[in-house]
Amino acid sequence: MENTDPPAAGLALAILTGDIAQVERLLAEHPGLAAEHIRGRKGGTGTSLHMVTDWPGYFPNGPRIVPILIAAGADPNARTTPAPHETPLHYAASSDDADVAEALIDGSADIEVPGGSIGTPLDNAVGYGCWNVARLLVQRGARVERLWQAAALGMLPRLEEMLAAGPAPGDINHAFWQACHGGQRRAAERLLDAGADLAYHPEYASQAPAQIAAGLDTRRSNLVEWLNERAGTPAAT
């Protein structure tokens, strides 16, 4: 996220480089800067907290900068424009930056806010294979209300509760695929026994269950890409 306004541009650079002293100086010199909606190169807007959580995440000192920005007036539940109208927690949930996600939750971020690219922060986390944030959200009270969420996280008692309600075959198939996505063999076995299709894949993905089970989760994929960039080698596929 970029902006030609000097204070906003300076704050963005300080956040991305983890320069805490510069962040604090700019916030002190420009009251209200932390809460401003800043326009990026592509025309959308977000706040300073969206800068900390923007892809690929893991910016230096991010978990320490989040509470500084919130104390200076940044809204942990501010939304981006245009749609999807995502909060900073949606962003952190989509990169699996659990340290920053925890700092946002500690700063009163809404863990049930809808409207992300997939839905709630938990929807985003599970959908993008961000298992560390997904488990953090559940630990902090996020509701597991969908069969595919319970399957992907291997929550067998919750899975049984939902299966007892008689879900549709399509829901069982999707949950089975997500169980494979999350590496949850027991959940996958239970869903296969319930009639799941071994060849099913959702419309948004081309991998069959066996293929998605063998893939990298978002955190590992992010790390591999970062390591390859540092080494000057092509990113792994």
Residue type present at position 132 = N
At 171 the pLDDT is 98
Domains for the chain: give ranges and CATH numbers.
1-143 (1.25.40.20), 144-237 (1.25.40.20)
Distance in angstroms (rounded) separating the CA atoms of residues 200 and 202:
7
Could you read off the pLDDT tens digit of each residue along the chain, which spans 237 residues?
545 578 999 999 999 999 999 999 999 999 999 999 988 777 899 999 999 999 999 999 999 999 999 999 999 999 999 999 999 999 999 999 999 999 999 999 999 999 999 999 999 999 999 999 999 999 999 999 999 999 999 999 999 999 999 999 999 999 999 999 999 999 999 999 999 999 999 999 999 999 999 999 999 999 999 999 999 866 554
At 237 the pLDDT is 47
The structure tokens 């104390």 sit at 71
Residue from 44, 30, 38, 32 nearest 12 by CA: 38
**Is residue 218 within 8 Å of residue 197, measured between CB atoms?**
no
At 234 the pLDDT is 62
**Is residue 80 within 8 Å of residue 40, measured between CB atoms?**
no
Q: Is 111 left (phi over 0), alpha (psi -120 to 50) or beta?
A: alpha
The structure tokens 């991305």 sit at 16
Structure tokens at 9: 């541009």
Neighbours of 108 (CB within 10 A): 10
Q: What is the pTM for the complete model shown?
A: 0.93
